[in-house]
């Protein structure tokens, strides 16, 4: 492990940690030590982590603030759930889920690509506002979509269920604000963890490749990047599309974990976009492992604090502020550095102890 | 045929005529200086040559090819690289990575190869590392290859910027005030470096500079700009003794 560089070492540490946590969770679940509430959160936690990793690629490496990643998650969720529901009787379970995963990811990537073309001409606040609007548009369009299937094929309307004119035996695939019901629940904790690890490897490899270096160069200094011959637009598009695709994977997991998938403000609206941005900022901009940690802690925290009833959100906010100060306040950073409380220093100590043994 | 020929170049920002009727011819292998008082339009000329500004009128030819108003990245591929008056490094990346970004168009592999670490990734990265270290060694920066670019001392940041520009394998290198903010020792080092890169990379150089010692020491030809117009052009010694030039610099 000595000749590997720092970021590769960190990736391996993160993957090992996730793996250990996965084993612990599995054992606890098998032995009945996990409350149903907690076990119900396992897949969503991974889904949110995935979206946070995707957004971190956009915020930390492309250097552009997107407030629309819940929108890409939504696209991934609905296209994959739609596919799974449509072919529920015709394609066997496993290949259907794999196809749903591919379709959800590609659809999110396609939307990312299409949105990026006009949006990446903007930067800073303007980009944030446009992506925010995009997320809302996606959510609202899905709320007026009515798609049904009967013997004659697929029927589509944006008015109401009646106007589809379905035959008596027909099924509703997407039912406006009620969304998609009866999606097969195929997102297991194992699949979710595997996809999360895969996304961490992909993002790590991406930012340490030729393309990733170019993306970082554009972030650091666009004019200088142009004068050394980098095609700016191309690499911005590539990074944004990959970022959206990873958010789409999170959406696929999310959709195949619940019975009825609806697009509301809480799951795919700006609330969620902001929540994911909080994971990214709190976990450290440009730090993929940090995004996962923040997503896990901040998803579990409100549930663990449930006993405090009304004070729950108050405590939650205070914890957020405290964590933010711990991570970013210059005075506290200095204190941590002097007293060996930084992540690197702690890992360093841990390693030394190991070597001594 | 001249490597760079600029004819009648001009640009207006609203009502302000920043550069007007600018002519310049640089032969291959020359070391050419562009001087003039502050605000004369020297950096504006550089920005037009590299496509950062689109000239309002005039033509720029590089080795016979018209590059007027072309895209910055395309102009770099055609063979012009530059440094900046206010250093523009990729500060959050290592010294070696800065040079590897300069090598971006020389060594190629796709995004897919990079993400899935196909064999080509490893072989190309290895070649890039080797080439980057070779270039850094010319500047004596190979010891600091893994240092963050923003952590380098000022003088070395300037050198790294030149190294990064040379990594793009240019025919013409534009240096915008390479000696700005340097002490006499550092300036002397810089003069040696410039002589060295002419020899090692066989590159033609056009530089903007205020340090007359450096200009008279290394430039073969000069063009003097004043208020956006060419005041004098020709052999260095002749230009520096021109009464008009002395007047513009020192006043009457």
The last residue of one of the domains, among B169, B203, B223, is B169
Chain segment B183-208, per-residue pLDDT in tens: 888 888 889 999 999 988 999 999 99
Q: How confident is the model at residue A38 (pLDDT cuts 50, 70, 90)?
A: confident
What whole-number distance in Å separates Cα of residue A68 and Cα of residue A129? 9
Q: How far is A238 from chain B (nearest CA, A)?
A: 9
Q: Which range has the worst mean pLDDT, A73-77, B19-23, B199-203? A: B199-203
Chain A residues with CB under 8 Å of B105 CB are: 229
Chain A residues with CB under 8 Å of B116 CB are: 205
Q: How confident is the model at residue A324 (pLDDT cuts 50, 70, 90)?
A: confident
The last residue of one of the domains, among B117, B141, B169, is B169
Interface residue A227 vs chain B (CB under 8 A): yes
Q: How does strand B204-208 pair with strand B31-35?
A: parallel
CATH at residue A343: 1.10.3470
Contact residues for A18 (Cβ-Cβ < 8 A; gap 6+): A193, A196, A197, A200, A292
Contact A205 B108 (CB under 8 A): no
Q: Which range has the worst mean pLDDT, A138-147, A203-212, A238-247? A: A138-147
What whole-number distance in Å separates Cα of residue A67 and Cα of residue A122? 14
What φ, ψ does residue A49 adopt, rounded to 5°?
-60, -45
Interface residue A234 vs chain B (CB under 8 A): no
Q: Does residue A188 lie within any of the structural domains?
A: yes
Contact residues for A135 (Cβ-Cβ < 8 A; gap 6+): A67, A68, A69, A70, A71, A74, A268, A269, A270, A273
- Range of A247's domain? 7-29+43-356
Q: Does residue A37 lie within any of the structural domains?
A: no
Q: How far is B160 from chain A (nearest CA, A)?
A: 13
Q: Which residues are B26's β-sheet partners?
A: B4
Q: Which range has the worst mean pLDDT, A283-287, A328-332, B42-46, B126-130? A: A328-332
Number of structural domains chain B divides into: 2
Q: Give me the residue from A214, A227, A238 closest to B81, CB to CB.
A: A227
**A201-220: average pLDDT:** 95
What whole-number distance in Å separates Cα of residue B10 and Cα of residue B48? 9
What whole-number distance in Å separates Cα of residue B51 and Cα of residue B60? 10
Q: Give me the residue from B73, B90, B108 closest to A231, CB to CB.
A: B73
State both tokens at A40. 């119900």
Contact B76 A229 (CB under 8 A): yes
Pairwise pLDDT comparison (A53 vs B214), residue with the higher score: A53
Chain segment B51-110, per-residue pLDDT in tens: 999 999 999 999 999 999 899 999 999 999 999 999 999 999 999 999 999 999 999 999
* A187 three-class SS: coil
Q: Does residue A34 lie within any of the structural domains?
A: no
Q: Does residue A309 lie within any of the structural domains?
A: yes
Q: How confident is the model at residue A344 (pLDDT cuts 50, 70, 90)?
A: low
> Are residues B71 and B2 part of one domain?
yes
Interface residue A198 vs chain B (CB under 8 A): no
Residue among A222, A212, A227, A254 at smallest CA distance from A104: A254
> Are residues B103 and B164 part of one domain?
yes
Interface residue A228 vs chain B (CB under 8 A): yes
Chain A residues with CB under 8 Å of B91 CB are: 220-221
Interface residue A204 vs chain B (CB under 8 A): no
Residue A221's closest chain B neighbor by CA?
B90
Number of structural domains chain A divides into: 1
Are the beta carbons of A151 and A221 closer than 8 angstroms? no
Residue B113's closest chain A neighbor by CA?
A209
Residue B76's closest chain A neighbor by CA?
A229
Q: Over pLDDT 70: what percentage of chain B?
A: 99
Contact A220 B107 (CB under 8 A): no
Contact A227 B97 (CB under 8 A): no
Q: How confident is the model at residue A4 (pLDDT cuts 50, 70, 90)?
A: low
Chain segment A158-193, per-residue pLDDT in tens: 887 777 777 777 788 888 888 898 888 888 999 999
Q: How far is A285 from chain B (nearest CA, A)?
A: 13
With a CB-CB cutoff of 8 Å, which residues 92-111 of chain A face chain B? none
What whole-number distance in Å separates Cα of residue B100 and Cα of residue B118? 19
Contact residues for A310 (Cβ-Cβ < 8 A; gap 6+): none
Q: What is the ipTM of this complex?
A: 0.92
Pairwise pLDDT comparison (A332 vs B116), residue with the higher score: B116
What φ, ψ does residue B239 adopt, rounded to 5°?
-65, -45
Q: Does residue A1 lie within any of the structural domains?
A: no
> Are residues B14 and B60 part of one domain?
yes
Are the beta carbons of A184 and A92 closer than 8 angstroms? no
Asked whether the predicted pLDDT for residue A273 surpasses 60, the reply is: yes
What whole-number distance in Å separates Cα of residue A111 and Cα of residue A70? 12
Q: Does residue A318 lie within any of the structural domains?
A: yes
- Range of B183's domain? 1-79+170-252
What whole-number distance in Å separates Cα of residue A167 and Cα of residue A157? 15
Name residue, tokens 């970022």.
A243
Are the beta carbons of A120 and A237 closer than 8 angstroms? yes
What whole-number distance in Å separates Cα of residue B11 and Cα of residue B21? 9
Chain B residues with CB under 8 Å of A206 CB are: 111, 114-115
Residue A202's closest chain B neighbor by CA?
B115
Residue B105's closest chain A neighbor by CA?
A229
> Are residues B221 and B175 part of one domain?
yes
Q: Which helix (H) or strand (E) holds A132?
A: helix A125-143
Chain B residues with CB under 8 Å of A205 CB are: 114-117
Q: For chain A, what is the mean pLDDT?
A: 88
The last residue of one of the domains, among B115, B144, B169, is B169
Chain B residues with CB under 8 Å of A216 CB are: 90, 92-93
> Are residues B129 and B154 part of one domain?
yes
Contact B72 A226 (CB under 8 A): yes
Residues belonging to chain B with any Cβ–Cβ distance to chain A shorter than 8 Å = 50-52, 71-73, 76-77, 81-82, 84, 88-93, 97, 100-102, 104-105, 107-111, 113-117, 121, 124-125, 128, 164-165, 167-168
Q: How far is B84 from chain A (nearest CA, A)?
A: 8
> Are residues B248 and B189 part of one domain?
yes
> Are residues B175 and B60 part of one domain?
yes
Q: Does residue A166 lie within any of the structural domains?
A: yes
In three-state form (DSSP H/G/I as H, E/B as E, the rest C), the secondary structure along chain B is CCCEEEEEEEEEECCEEEEEEEEEEECCCCEEEEECCCCCCHHHHHHHHCCCCCCCEEEEEECCEECCCCCHHHHHHHCEEECCCCCCCCCCCEHHHHHHHHCCCCCCCCHHHHHCCCHHHHHHHHHHHHHHHHHHHHCCCHHHCCCEHHHCCHHHHHHHHHHHHHHCCCCEEEEECCCCCCCHHHHHHHHHHHHHHHHHHCCEEEEECCCHHHHHHHCCEEEEEECCEEEEEEEHHHHHCCHHHHHHHHCC
Q: How confident is the model at residue A353 (pLDDT cuts 50, 70, 90)?
A: low
> Are residues B96 and B50 part of one domain?
no
Q: Report H helices in A154-231.
A: 189-207, 210-220, 222-227
> Are residues B143 and B44 part of one domain?
no
> Are residues B63 and B108 part of one domain?
no
Residue A37: per-residue pLDDT: 82
What whole-number distance in Å separates Cα of residue A100 and Cα of residue A180? 14
Contact B117 A205 (CB under 8 A): yes
Contact B121 A209 (CB under 8 A): yes
Q: Is A216 left (phi over 0), alpha (psi -120 to 50) or beta?
A: alpha
What φ, ψ does residue B97 adopt, rounded to 5°?
-65, -35
Chain A residues with CB under 8 Å of B125 CB are: 210
Q: Give me the residue from B73, B115, B167 closest to A206, CB to CB.
A: B115
CATH at residue B6: 3.40.50.300
């Amino acid at each position: 492990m000595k000749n590997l560089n720092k970021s590769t070492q960190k990736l391996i540490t993160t993957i090992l940690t996730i793996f250990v946590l996965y084993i612990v969770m599995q054992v606890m679940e098998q032995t009945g030590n996990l409350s149903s509430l907690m076990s119900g959160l396992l897949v969503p936690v991974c889904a949110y982590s995935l979206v946070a990793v995707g957004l971190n690629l956009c915020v930390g490496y492309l250097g552009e603030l997107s407030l629309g990643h819940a929108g890409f998650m939504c696209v991934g969720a609905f296209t994959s759930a739609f596919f799974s529901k449509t072919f529920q009787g015709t394609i066997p379970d496993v290949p259907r889920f794999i196809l749903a995963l591919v379709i959800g990811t590609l659809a999110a990537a396609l939307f990312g690509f299409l949105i990026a073309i006009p949006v990446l001409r903007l930067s800073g606040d303007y980009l944030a506002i446009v992506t925010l609007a995009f997320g809302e548009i996606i959510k609202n369009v899905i709320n007026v979509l009515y798609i049904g299937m009967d013997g004659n094929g697929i029927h589509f309307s944006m008015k109401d269920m009646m106007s589809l004119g379905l035959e008596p035996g027909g099924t509703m695939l997407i039912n406006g604000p009620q969304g998609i019901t009866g999606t097969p629940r195929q997102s297991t904790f194992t699949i979710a963890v595997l996809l999360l690890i895969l996304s961490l490897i992909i993002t790590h490899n991406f930012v340490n490749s030729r393309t990733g270096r170019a993306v970082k160069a554009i972030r650091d200094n666009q004019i200088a990047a142009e004068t050394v011959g980098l095609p700016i637009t191309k690499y911005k598009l590539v990074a944004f599309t990959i970022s959206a695709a990873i958010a789409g994977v999170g959406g696929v997991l999310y959709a195949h974990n619940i019975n009825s998938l609806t697009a509301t403000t809480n799951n795919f609206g700006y609330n969620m976009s902001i929540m994911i941005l909080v994971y990214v900022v709190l976990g450290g901009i440009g730090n993929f492992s940090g995004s996962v940690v923040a997503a896990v802690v901040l998803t579990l925290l409100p549930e663990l604090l449930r006993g405090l009833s009304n004070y729950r959100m108050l405590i939650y906010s205070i914890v957020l502020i405290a964590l933010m100060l711990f991570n970013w306040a210059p005075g506290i950073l200095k204190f941590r550095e002097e007293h060996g409380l930084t992540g690197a220093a702690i890992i360093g100590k841990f390693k030394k102890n190991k070597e001594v043994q | 045929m001249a490597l760079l020929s600029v004819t009648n170049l001009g640009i207006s920002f609203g009502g302000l005529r920043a550069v007007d009727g600018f002519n310049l011819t640089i032969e291959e292998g020359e070391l050419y200086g562009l001087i003039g008082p502050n605000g004369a339009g020297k950096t504006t000329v550089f920005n037009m040559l590299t496509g950062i500004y689109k000239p309002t009128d005039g033509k720029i030819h590089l080795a016979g090819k018209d590059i007027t108003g072309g895209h910055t990245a395309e102009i770099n591929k055609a063979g012009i690289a530059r440094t900046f008056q206010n250093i523009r490094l990729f500060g959050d990346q290592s010294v070696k990575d800065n040079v590897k970004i300069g090598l971006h168009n020389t060594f190629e592999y796709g995004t897919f190869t990079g993400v899935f670490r196909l064999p080509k990734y490893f072989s190309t990265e290895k070649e890039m590392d080797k080439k980057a270290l070779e270039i850094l060694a010319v500047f004596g920066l190979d010891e600091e290859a893994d240092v963050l670019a923003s952590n380098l001392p000022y003088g070395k940041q300037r050198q790294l910027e030149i190294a990064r520009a040379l990594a793009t394998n240019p025919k013409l290198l534009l240096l915008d005030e390479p000696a700005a903010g340097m002490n006499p020792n550092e300036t002397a080092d810089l003069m040696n470096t410039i002589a060295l890169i002419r020899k090692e990379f066989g590159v033609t150089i056009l530089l903007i500079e205020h340090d007359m010692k450096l200009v008279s020491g290394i430039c073969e030809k000069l063009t003097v700009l004043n208020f956006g117009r060419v005041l004098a052009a020709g052999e260095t010694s002749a230009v520096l003794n021109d009464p008009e030039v002395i007047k513009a610099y020192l006043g009457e």
